[in-house]
Amino acid sequence: MEFTKDSVIKAIDMLNTANFEEADNYLDSFQKSNEAWLIAEEILSHRPHHEMHILTFAAISLAKKIKYSFHLLGRSELSSLKYCLVDHLINASMIPDSKPLIVQLGVCLSVLGLMTSEWDHELQSFVQRLSGRAEHVVALLEVLKVLPEETRPSNLPLSGSHLNCVFHELRLQSSYVLNVLEELLERTDLPSCCLSKCLAVCGSWTKFGLVSPDQVLERKLFQRAHVILAASLDEGHSEAADCIVAMLEQSLVSNNLDNRLAQMVVGLQPAFNRSLNNIQLLQNYCYIFVNLFKTHFQLTKRDPTKIQERLTTIELLLLIAEKCPLELVETSLDMWYLLSGDNQVDPNSNSLYKPYFMRLLNLLFPRSRLPASYESILPPEPDSLDIHRFRGVMAELLVDVAHLVDVETMEMLYNIVRNEQSPWEDVEVALFFLRHLMGQFKERQTQMILNILDSVKDRQQAFIRLQVLELISIPETVDITTIWNCLVRELQRDFPMLAAIESRLKLLMPQCDYFIVLATMVDEFCLVESDRCRLLAHVCALIRQLPQSDIYEVKKHMLNIQWKDCPDYVRENRIKVLQAI
């Protein structure tokens, strides 16, 4: 296969056409070829420069060659490649909207330096060369952010011992890097974005273990991050949050959480409350709060002197549950599993954590409520709305914490259900909670369900009826007669939920008489004829799962059903469906 600069550029431009697969295969072969070195360099060196996507592809190709064909280059070739890449980076810094190219050139330089183990003595000369013009500084910061990311074993084809040496060399440079960042923050000729980029570099070096939390705590960078977060400033907020989270994660790795870091995070509650209308800032605070809880809990769960501090971090989780959008609440619920698991390991902690779990359930009850506008609609497809996805997570949590729930709580929920004056949406969410909590009360579960069925039998809302069908589906609770009555009652509704019924007909197995009666009753149900045939077809599919001797008897009865006032053509069509048994 022949590769030229023009043919490669043509293939890149074809990636967004119908010939995508052919172009993709060609470019994949190109990146593995020896010609990739020269052609990528030719593309990057061309003046006037090519379009950004072409330049970026060339840089990506060079990065792959460096990673996987590094051993083919001699020392002089490596040195030449390094200087060319720095020149390309400087040129790219002067091109508008060139961040994708700068990042990929940063990958090239990072991998090249790491593979040759030369960052220890070349980092300073590299920094000095790019510390002049403001545009060069921005590019420098992008490279410094990328560098730690490339130390991951999945990114760097090095042996374990060689990789350890790389880490050691970079850790020796960490103080120098932090000094560079703080010097840049003092410059008045740099754009305002440099603060967020400096924080991003600090966060990256911390996240990958090249800078310790203790180092950052002593720096002005930490103070800058604190000011941004405490004042709810938009610019640099995500980078400041990432930096704090990296410090918390590394505190867990090093088995040491500095109280200054923990107190700073706890002190962000006023900023959190001011940011309730800014989803991005709110997300950042949640990210920080959840990580503080996780780090503190893992480090202190067996330390009785840290209980009060732990309760303070639990308050942060409750703050999220009370005030955040559901998608953010969802991200915090895993932390409650940690507490629940601790309860099971240490039963004495039940009395400590139970009030917090009860507060959580009280907060999530109204937040799990369906919109009032759902009263007259049928349930949508699963996961089609945020509330349904959230409820899937909530269901798991309720089952997990059920052992903490007492009889009084269950009675409170049931009182909502049986009160005829309760709004339908309160009844529905109470049913949802009861269904997932009642497993803790095995000896009373059947009677609970029967009481609930009697209390809501006149409720017409489809979502309440769906909760009823879920209740009778709980294994080894209600008898088959109760199941049958509930299914028939639903089919006799003005707008029966056919899909929900079909998925539960197997609960009648292996009592085949019920299927015969059901087939006899199809004209009593508010269904169009196509849905009646669909119901019959589903019944037939279940009958085919019976023992062969039963199938013959059931089929004989089914084919002899006499539907009253049924037109011949309708009967013939139904018989065709039943013959599939």
Spatial separation of the C-alpha atoms in residues 239 and 228, rounded to whole Å: 10
Counting every residue written for the chain, the total comes to: 581
- Looking up tokens 């006023």 gives 270
Between CA 385 and CA 291 the distance in angstroms is: 27
**Complete DSSP assignment for 201-261:** HHHHHHHTTSS-HHHHHTSHHHHHHHHHHHTT-STTHHHHHHHHHHHHHHHHHHT---HHH
Tokens matching residue 83: 């200087």
- Whole-model pTM: value is 0.87
Nearest-angstrom CA–CA distance, 242 and 206: 10
Residues whose CB is less than 8 angstroms from the CB of residue 388 and which lie 6 or more positions away in sequence, other chains included: 380, 382
pLDDT of residue 384: 47
d(CA 439, CA 409): 14
Residue 438, pLDDT score? 95
Residues of the chain with pLDDT under 70: 117-121, 342-348, 380-385
Residue with tokens 């009642």: 438
Q: Determine the residue type at 261.
A: L
The DSSP letter of residue 369 is: P
DSSP per-residue codes, 450-496: HHHHHHHTT---HHHHHHHHHHHTSTTSS-HHHHHHHHHHHHTSSS-
CA–CA separation, 171 and 148 (whole Å): 10
pLDDT digits (tens, 9 = 90+) for 486-545: 999 999 999 999 999 999 999 999 888 999 999 999 999 999 999 999 999 999 999 999
Report the alpha-carbon distance of residue 88 to residue 56 in Å, rounded: 11
Task: Calculate the alpha carbon distances from 421 to 369, 417, 449, 459, 497 in Å.
Answer: 17, 9, 20, 12, 25
Dist CA 203 CA 147 (whole Å): 12
Give the span between the Cα atoms of 229 and 77, in whole angstroms: 47
b/e burial code for range 72-88 (CB count within 10 A of at least 16 → b): ebeeeeeeebbeebbeb
Q: Within 13 Å, how many C-alpha atoms sit on residue 514's CB side? A: 19
Strand, helix or coil for residue 336: helix
Residue 324's Cβ-count burial label (10 Å; 0-12, 13-18, 19+) is: buried
Neighbours of 55 (CB within 10 A): 24
Residues 26/29/31/36 CA torsion (nearest 10 deg): -90
- 217 neighbors 160 (Cβ within 8 angstroms): no
The secondary structure element, H or E, covering residue 286 is: helix 279-300
Inter-residue contact 444 to 406 (CB < 8 Å): no
- CA–CA gap between residue 324 and residue 328 (Å, rounded): 6
558 neighbors 514 (Cβ within 8 angstroms): no
Q: What is the pLDDT of residues 462-478, one digit of tens each?
A: 999 999 999 999 999 99
Give CA–CA dist 521/503, Å, rounded: 19
Q: How far apart are the two ends of the chain, measured CA to CA in Å?
A: 59
How far is the C-alpha of 526 from the C-alpha of 505, rounded, in Å? 18
Instruction: Say what the pLDDT of residue 165 is.
Output: 84
The number of beta carbons lying within 10 Å of the beta carbon of residue 183 is: 12
The secondary element (H helix, E strand) that includes residue 406 is: none
DSSP secondary structure, 121-150, as one string: HHHHHHHHHTSSSHHHHHHHHHHHHHHHHT
Contact 195, 236 (CB under 8 A): yes
CB-side neighbour CA atoms (13 Å) of 555? 19
Integer Cα distance of 514 and 508 in angstroms: 7
From CA 105, how far away is CA 78, in angstroms rounded? 15
Q: How far apart are CA 331 and CA 64, in angstroms?
A: 35
- pLDDT for the residue numbered 383: 46
Q: What is the pLDDT of residue 120?
A: 59
d(CA 178, CA 220): 10
pLDDT for the residue 488: 96
Cα 351 from chain centroid?
32
Any idea what DSSP says for residue 2? -
